[in-house]
Structure 1
Amino acid sequence: MDRRRFFTAAAATTAAASLPLLAAEPAFADSTDAQDKRLTRLMLDALGRELDDPATAAVVEPHIQDVGFNWHPPVVAVADIDYIVAYSFGNRAPAGGGDPAKVLYEPGPVNEALADTIAAVRKQKTVPVFAQWEIARFLSSKYNMTQVISIEPVIAKDGTITYLSTDGVAAQVVAQRGTGGTAGVIGFRDHVKRCVQTTRDRGMTAFAPAGIDMPGTYDPESGQPWTRRRDLYLLHDMYAQMAVLRAKEIAKAYPNG
C-alpha cells in the first residue's frame, strides 16, 4: 500500500474508532476546557492504539499536547512585574555587506516591533529592561529609553561573533541581575511561550505580561531561515521544546547518569 493510501486508511480508521468516544461525551458547552478534554481523549485513544501500549501513551500524550497544541504562556498583571526580559526574533543581513561571521546583522523589523511592545509595557509601569541587543538598539534609537541593559553577542578577539541562544540570553540576565522578583517576558508571539519556559529554567519567576499583544508578523527577509515563515518556525520551536523536555525527562529518570 502506498503512503497516501496508508494515511487515508489510518485517518478513516481513527475517525471511525473515535465515534463511540464522541457519542459518549457529555454535552459540554463549547468551551476551551471542554475542547481540550475532548482532544486529550482522542489523542490518548489514537496514540494508545498506534503504540499498542495505553500506559506509555498516557505518559507521552501530555508532552505532545503541550508542545504541539499549547502556544500561550502563563501571564501576570503588568503591575506585578519587577523587570522585563526581552528576546529577539530574526534579523536582517548586514546592510553594508561583509563577512556575517564578523559583521553584526541588522536588527530587522520584527525586533523593532518587539521594542514597540516594551514601550507599551513601560507606559504602564517603569521597570528595568534586559533586552537582547537587536531590541535594545531600537529602545535606544527610537525611544531613548533609560534603564535598559543590552544583552550583547559574544565577540572573540579575532572579531568572530557568537550570537546568544534564548537560553544564553536568560543566563546573561541571571549573571547580571540574579533571580529575584518577577520577570515580564517579551517575545515574538510563537516564541514567547518558550521564552517564558527558558527564563524559568534559569531560576527566574517569569510570566508574559497580561493584556499585551506580542508581535506576530513574520519577516520573509530574515537572516534566519526558520524565522521567515510560520510553518517552518513552529517546527523549529517544537523541536527546541522537545530537546529541552528530553533532557529534563532523562535527568529525572536517571539522575545519576
Structure 2
Amino acid sequence: MSTRRNFLLSTSGAATASLLAATLSACGGDGVSADAPISDAELKAQMIGKLSAELNDATTASVIAPYLMDVGFTWDLPLIPANQVNTIVAYSFGNRPNAASGNTSSTGALAALPDPGPMNEKLADAVYQIYQLKPVKVFAQWQIARFLVSKYQMNSSNLQSIEPIIASDGTITYMSTDGAAAAIVALHGTAAAMGTVAVVGHRDHAKRCIETSVARGMNAHAVKEVTLPVYYDPLSGQPWTRNRAIYLVHDMYAQMADRTGALIAQAYPHG
C-alpha cells in the first residue's frame, strides 16, 4: 500500500504546497509516517498532479486518473450475507498441465484437458462453504466442478458444470472469464432469473469476476462469511497464474481493456 514515505510528491504549484503542508502536519512535522496510508483523495490529487505535469494536459489527466485509481488501487469487493444468495457462480483459476495437455495458452487450443490443480480445489472448498450456509444451485467451471463432485459428492441436482469448448478436431478452446459468464447466463436462461449471485474466484481475480458477471447482467457479489483463497501455484499451466506480481499486472491489463472498450463505446456510440 502506498504511504507518505514511499509515494513521491509530484504535483506542482499550489496543489503541491497544500498537500505537503497537510502531510507534514499529519506526520508531526517530519513528513515520515511509515504505517499510515495516504487517503484516496490524496492519492488521486497526486496522480492528477503528476499526470498533468507529464502530459502537459490537466484535462486529460483528470479523465485518466480515476481509471488508474480504480484499476490499480481499488481491490475491495461488494459483499452480501450468505442468506441473501440465490445462485453461486464459480470461476476457475489456473490448472496443472499433464503430458497430453501441455501448458494452457490464452489464445491457442489444447490437445487434451489439463488437470484442475490445487487452486481450483481451494475454490471448490470456498463454494462448498457458501453452499453449506445457503444450499442453492451452483454454476462452476469444470476445474472447480470436478472437485465439488469428487470431494463433496455434489451432482446435477445442485451443480451445473461449465464444460470446456471442444472443437470438431478434438482440440479444446481456452475459455475466458467473460466466456464462462456468458455460458452460465445461457444455461440459466436469463441473468435476472439467477437472482442474487454469490461469485467465487481467486481473491485477486474476484474483482474482475464480479465486474464481468455484472456486465453479463448478474446481480453479483462476494459473500461476507467466506474468505476467498489467495494461492499461486508455481506449477500452473497458465504462466500468468504462477506469480502474484505477474498476475496482478495481467489482471490490471484486462481491467483496463474493459474500461477502454467502455470509453470508446461512450465516445463513439455509432462506431
Structure 2 unmatched ranges of 5 or more: 1-6, 28-32, 103-109
Contact 2:90–2:141 (CA<8 Å) still a contact in 1? yes
| 2: CA distance, partners of 1:207 / 1:72 | 11
Per-residue CA deviation, residues 174-226 of structure 1 (Å, 9 max, x unaligned), is: 10112121111000010000000000111111111123211101100000000
The answer as to 2:254 corresponding to 1:240 is yes
| 1: CA distance, partners of 2:88 / 2:37 | 30
- Cα distance change, pair 12–214 in 1 and its aligned pair in 2 (3 A): closer
Match of 1:157 in 2: 168
| 2: CA distance, partners of 1:109 / 1:142 | 13
The answer as to 2:220 corresponding to 1:216 is no
How many angstroms does 1:78 deviate by? 1.2
Of 111, 117, 122, 2:120 maps to: 111
2:252 aligned counterpart, secondary structure:
helix
The answer as to 2:177 corresponding to 1:179 is no
Report the TM-score, using the length of structure 2 for normalisation: 0.84
Question: Which piece of structure 1 moves more, 69-78 or 109-118?
Answer: 69-78
Q: Percent identity?
A: 49
| 1: CA distance, partners of 2:9 / 2:65 | 20
Match of 1:60 in 2: 64
Of 18, 21, 25, 2:19 maps to: 21
Q: Please identify which structure carries the higher helix content.
A: 1
Structural RMSD (CA): 2.4
Aligned length, in residue pairs: 244
Match of 1:87 in 2: 91
How many angstroms does 1:54 deviate by? 1.4
**Which letter maps to 1:151?**
I
Structure 1 unmatched ranges of 5 or more: 1-10
| 1: CA distance, partners of 2:100 / 2:19 | 60
| 2: CA distance, partners of 1:63 / 1:16 | 21
Per-residue CA deviation, residues 132-161 of structure 1 (Å, 9 max, x unaligned), is: 000000000000024010001101122111
Match of 2:177 in 1: 166
How many angstroms does 1:124 deviate by? 0.8
The answer as to 2:100 corresponding to 1:98 is yes
Match of 1:145 in 2: 154
| 1: CA distance, partners of 2:12 / 2:168 | 64
